Amino acid sequence: MIVISKYIFSLAFRQLPIEDIQTQHFDHVRKNIFWIYEDNRPYCIIKVEKFKKKQLIFCILSYNLEKIPKIHSQMNQILSEILSKLSTTNKETITTDILRQYQENKYCIVHFLYFATIVLNALDREDNSSEKKNLFIEALHRGDFLLPDGIALRLLYRRYFKKEIPNLNGTDFLPFFFSNLGQKQPTEVLIYGGTETVAQRAASYIQDTFLFPVISVQHGFQEFNWNILPEKSDNTLRIMLVGRGSPLQELWGEKNREKIKEMKCLVFTVGWLLDFFAGTEKRAPIWMRKAKIEWLYRALSNPKKNFKKTLVSLELWRFLIQ
């Protein structure tokens, strides 16, 4: 057994006769893959194979039972309401909608929702309440748009709402959004987040790639200084990228809503996007993106930052089998 973070995982070496497991604890997932339950909690994924005329259990993954909450028969209301807010249109339509909202209100706040964010912030748990969690939920609800980020979230949405939604992850959507602006209207960019080096490199990338001036670069380990911003002309689109990680960036956006409105900003809370722009985080090869396994590439290429998030995403199974 090896211990990683909060979870205990078993390397896939253990094999047991199938008769040793009570079949009423099985929950069929697909083909010969099963969950094993105890006290209404899944603690092991197994694969049943035939070997020398015997059925053997091949342990793929096992959890520490104490760290897994009991499964509820239905999604809780909090998470259901958050998922109901997700944008379900394609990237072309959502781009038009965001720009229209900005033109009408003179400001706009756009958030992204990643599956690991749900688990790490206990949005799936009604028995785990705190002031920070409540403020985070409020920020997600009050944002003008909530964009679905990642394959896991698409699967979760399909499971409960029986509908398909696009994968509008920031690393693909923001370059698309910037490219579609082109030279249609004057655009300026503000950066707030990352380390000082990451913020400066991201600013250079935006200026070189999209030809937009970056008028303010402030790293994410300081309070944002609104006072140094120049006055915005009426016909200029002012885009602000806030990359401080969830839930800090969403909480910051809600706390600074009045200032965002006053400064007429279109705010995107972008997580680690600044690292991709800066080149400190690399995209997976195109073939891995097409195969929808970019998450694996990120976990292996930068395990210190991404491995925990990948492990947390494995809890998607817990939702899919409910």
pLDDT in tens, 26-49: 444 445 555 555 544 445 555 555
For residue 3, pLDDT over 80 is answered with no
pLDDT at 197 (0 to 100):
97
Q: Which residues make beta-bridge pairs with 269?
A: 242
pLDDT in tens, 190-203: 999 999 999 999 99
Instruction: Report the C-alpha gap between 42 and 315 in whole angstroms.
Output: 10
pLDDT in tens, 179-231: 999 767 899 999 999 999 999 999 999 999 999 999 999 999 999 999 999 88
pLDDT in tens, 298-316: 777 777 777 777 777 777 8
Kindly report the pTM of this predicted structure.
0.75
pLDDT at 47 (0 to 100):
56
Tally of CA atoms within 13 A in the half-sphere of 216 that contains its CB: 22
Q: Could you tell me whether strands 15-17 and 54-62 are parallel, antiparallel, or unpaired per DSSP bridges?
A: antiparallel
Q: Percent of the chain, pLDDT > 70?
A: 75
Among 159-163, 171-175, 273-277, the minimum mean pLDDT is found in: 159-163
User: Which are the contacts of 178, defined by CB distance < 8 A and separation ≥ 6?
Assistant: 206, 209, 210, 212
Instruction: Report the C-alpha gap between 249 and 197 in whole angstroms.
Output: 19
Instruction: Report the C-alpha gap between 133 and 104 in whole angstroms.
Output: 31
